[in-house]
Amino acid sequence: MKKQFIVVVLQFFLLNISVFSQDFWEILPFPDNQNISTLKIDSAGEIFVGTVTGYQDNGIFRSDNDGLTWEMMLNTRNFQIFAMSINPNGNIFVGTGDGFYPFLASFDNGLSWDTIPVPFSSGFGEIAFYGQDTVLVGTGAYNGAIVLSTPDLGISWDTLFLTENHTSEYVADIAISSNGDIAIGLGCHLPDMGGLYRSTNGGAEWEFLGLFNRMVENLEYNAQGDLIIGVRGGFDGSGGIYAIYHDNPYQIVECLEGPNVNGLALNSQGHIYAGIGSPNGIIRSTNNGQTFELLDGGLPIGEMGSIENDNNDYIYALTDVGSHYIFRSINPTVTGVNKLPGYNKNYSLFIFPTPVSEVLQGKIKGKLSDGMYEFTISDISGRQIMEDRLSLFQNSFSLNVSFLPQGYYVFTIYSNELTCSAKLIKG
């Protein structure tokens, strides 16, 4: 009976999605002898990839030219990369499959790496950041799922979360809201495990929210504080997308029942992108989970996996099983806020941090002469807020924007050679 119900739900889903006939995705070149496990994009737009390619050279690869070429920044030999995360300052943290040094960090854009000691020998499944200094790592320990926290890069560790006597349970994802709530999704391979937990006081106390016996493997908070949840099947039902909306923080709402969700990301407007299986592809919701559409133009046949969003609202996608394919949206997924129609890929503008409170840092990807350049700041309606000149040195600049009210803006820089823009979020 349950199988018949799932088939009916999937048929209903397929009848109510719009399929794009033109390509939405393009393929980025990557060495075809490497299988990709994880992909992250830093605030300057550089792409970092971790690999899991069996008993040969694995590691971290970097592209600083929009995915055209790649350089291996860390060679872990036959130790595979399980997790990677990049904090707002650009520091890179990596979890490997090696029990002797599972946690590595780079503070110089991947040029050198430090080993961070951990109190147990197990590869990490998830790495997240709480506040300015605290790093959270989640995995499966010998008797259950565990999240550890360190405020000082491994000098001291605290156990933030632990399940006991759940030997197949592991931390699949960690999400942190803008007000500091921590959500943890658990995966599992045996019955009577899994589900969703939340702490509203920095990890001192935890509450179980639901989805017991489900593999809760993807979590994302949007700007309003809604928690979007991706489920990859389980012993008590199929996969799907769920949500806890900020105006009813204890109710789990079923948005889409059926497909296994293997990856999840939100763009700056809160649009939901998910890599799914059955039906295979990538789906999008532009109305916070009320309806979904299938975006398969340019994708191969097969399940899609991890999804990532960059600061300019391009979406990146991997296949669910290890392969060397990287897919990226051909255009930014937010129009009118990111790069303008005259955007030239040879000259990319990246601004960070995001959001910014006082000093904005900027970097032009592409060679420009040092000197003074005109810029404007406009609100998202197109109304110009500021026009002035800035000094560009070695393709980088700094600008004090503390005078701006909180909100979304468009930052544009001009020269005889280019006009390029990027989204500016003032916090």
Domain boundaries, the chain: 2-329, 348-426
Per-residue pLDDT at 85 exceeds 90: yes
At residue 8, the pLDDT reads 36
Lowest-confidence segment of 196-205, 310-319, 402-411 by average pLDDT: 402-411
90's tokens: 């650009």
Question: Is the preceding omega at residue 355 within 30 degrees of 0, hence cis?
Answer: yes
CB distance 264 to 273 below 8 Å: yes
What is the tens place of the pLDDT at every residue in 175-191?
999 889 999 999 988 88
Closest CA to 43 of 82, 92, 84: 92
Average pLDDT on 374-403 reads 86
Per-residue model confidence as pLDDT tens digits over 86-95: 987 788 999 8
pLDDT at 264 over 80: yes
pLDDT confidence tier of residue 10, bands split at 50, 70 and 90: very low
| CATH for the 348-426 domain, from 1.10.3720.10, 2.60.40.290, 2.60.40.3080, 3.40.50.720 | 2.60.40.3080
Q: Please give the CATH number for the structural domain made up of 2-329.
A: 2.130.10.10
- What is the C-alpha to C-alpha distance for residues 347 and 11, in angstroms, rounded to an integer? 45
Report the range out of 240-244, 333-337, 362-366 with the highest average pLDDT: 240-244
**How high is the pLDDT of residue 118?**
83
At residue 212, the 3 state secondary structure works out as: coil
Q: Which amino acid is at 5?
A: F
Secondary structure class of 101 (helix, strand, coil): coil
In the predicted model, is pLDDT for residue 130 greater than 80?
yes
Average pLDDT over residues 342-355: 64
Contacts of 275 (CB under 8 A, 6+ apart): 261, 262, 263, 264, 281, 282, 303, 304, 305, 306, 307, 317, 318, 320
Give the angle subtended at the CA of 169 by the CAs of 168 and 172, to the nearest 5°.
Answer: 130
Q: Which residues contact 255 (CB under 8 A, 6 or more apart)?
A: 240, 241, 242, 243, 285, 289, 290, 292
Q: How far apart are CA 273 and CA 243, in angstroms?
A: 14
* Sequence-distant (≥ 6) Cβ neighbours of residue 40 within 8 angstroms: 47, 48, 84, 85, 86, 92, 308
Q: Cβ neighbours of residue 247 under 8 Å, at least 6 residues apart?
A: none
CA distance 330 to 168: 39
Give residues with Cβ within 8 angstroms of 102, minimum separation 6.
Answer: 82, 95, 96, 118, 121, 122, 123, 124
Q: What average pLDDT is seen over the chain?
A: 84
The mean pLDDT of 133-148, rounded to a whole number, is 85
pLDDT at res. 127: 92
Residue 293 scores a pLDDT above 90: yes
Looking at mean pLDDT, say which of 105-119, 228-242, 410-424 comes out highest: 228-242
Per-residue confidence (pLDDT) for residue 227, from 0 to 100: 97
Q: Do 319 and 304 touch, CB atoms closer than 8 A? A: yes
Name the residue with higher pLDDT: 233 or 266: 266
Q: Where are the beta strands (DSSP E) in 245-395?
A: 253-258, 260-266, 272-277, 281-285, 293-294, 304-309, 315-319, 326-329, 348-352, 359-365, 371-379, 384-392
Cα–Cα distance, 96 to 109 (Å, whole number): 18
